[in-house]
Amino acid sequence: MTAVRTVLLTGASGVVGTALIPELAPAHVVALVHRTPCADATESVVGDVTAPRLGLAPADYASLAARVDAVVHCAAHTGFSGGRQVTEDVNIAGTEAVVAFAADAGAPLYYVSTAFVARTELTRRSLGRGTGDASARPEDYLDSKRMAEQVVRDSGVPAVLIRPSVVIGDSQTGAISRFQGLHGISTVLLRNLLPLMPMPATSRLDFVPCDVVARAIASLVFDRQSEGEVWITAGRAAPTIEVTIDTAVSVGAELGIKVNRPRMVEPEMVDRLIRPVFIDPLPPPARRRFDDLLAMTALFVNAPVFPSTLGQLPRQPTALTAEQVTDAYRASLIYLAHAKKLVAPVAARVGAPA
């Protein structure tokens, strides 16, 4: 088996790409950068997955294809509010272009999809519930990721479909290159702006630290795995929303932030009883924020546990434990609280009631 010497990484400046670069360091990493520069890559080329030949000049494309041994495709439109067209252009047409590059390079493709392709039936629209004023349309994103997976499967290119759940910060430091949806919810929780969580207490929140995601992907690349589906998820170790909120309350107490537990309720009760009285009279921006929260949390409500491949990868021989997942969330909360300046000054905490 020949060693992997040169890797093309798309989406190198993103959350997953940023965590991946150090893990791919044994190889020469060529980052395909789009709008955001990527200081840590060994080499950067400016490109666009929606443009012909990835936006590269014909000679540059050919010379890159001649030296790349593996392609890791992380570039995507990951927002839920960008609209169907841009989501499809980047996620489906962009994946077609990257698949074509992998074929030209004769290199295996590591396509970073999402575990939530398994949950499209849980979007508010699929469930037949109103989406209200939500700007978040998870169905556009999830449809595009499912179609992109199909593009990869139909191509015949040797490829691994990689499905992370929600990516959070580093398991030790909590650091992440850009805050994600779960960070947004955690921020309003720490600010006591979330009196109600539209999820039953037993629903599980599946998240994985970015360093675990990066190590798992790098392990696939360097072990030259070239087929299959890999679920980078907490699986049975995923905490319930109740445990997640308890973690936020206890981290808040350590940091001098008093966090009130939101009431956890079934979305059906929100629609039937709470919305007409409390939500409908709100000003449009507040209503939209609430409907966006409903759109995101719908993907977790009473959802089956994700499969997990962690523990079955040669360089990731153990699955995540519930304790590791909760500790990683603690690290993310502490990082978030400092970054958002939510931590009470030490002077205010000294002598504060326990």
Burial of 146 (0-12, 13-18, 19+ CB in 10 A): middle
7-46 mask for ligand NAP (x: CB under 6 A)? ---xxxxxxxx--------------x-xxx----------
Ordered alpha helix ranges (H), 236-354:
241-254, 267-269, 284-297, 322-339, 346-349
Beta bridge partners of 112: 162
How open is the CA angle 87-92-98, to the nearest 5 degrees?
125
Find tokens 């990683």 and name the residue: 328
DSSP, res 236:
G
Site string for ligand NAP, 136-165 (x = CB under 6 A): ---------x------------------x-
Site string for ligand NAP, 172-211 (x = CB under 6 A): ------x-x-------------------------------
Token pair for 257: 């932030």
Classify burial at 17, counting beta carbons within 10 Å of its beta carbon; exposed 0-12, middle 13-18, buried 19 or more.
Answer: buried
Strand-pair partners of 208: 167
Q: Closer to ligand NAP at the Cβ: 8 or 279? A: 8
Contact set for ligand NAP, span 264-303 (CB under 6 A): none
User: Does the protein bind ligand NAP through residue 48 (CB under 6 A)?
Assistant: yes
In the shown chain, the binding pattern of residues 51 to 80 toward ligand NAP, with x for contact by CB under 6 A and - for none, equals -----------------------xxxxx--
Rg (CA), the chain: 21
Q: Which of 166, 190, 298, 343 binds ligand NAP (CB under 6 A)?
A: 166
Number of residues forming the site for ligand NAP (CB under 6 A): 30
Q: Which residues bind ligand NAP (CB under 6 A)?
A: 10-17, 32, 34-36, 48-50, 74-78, 90, 94, 112, 114, 145, 164, 166-167, 178, 180
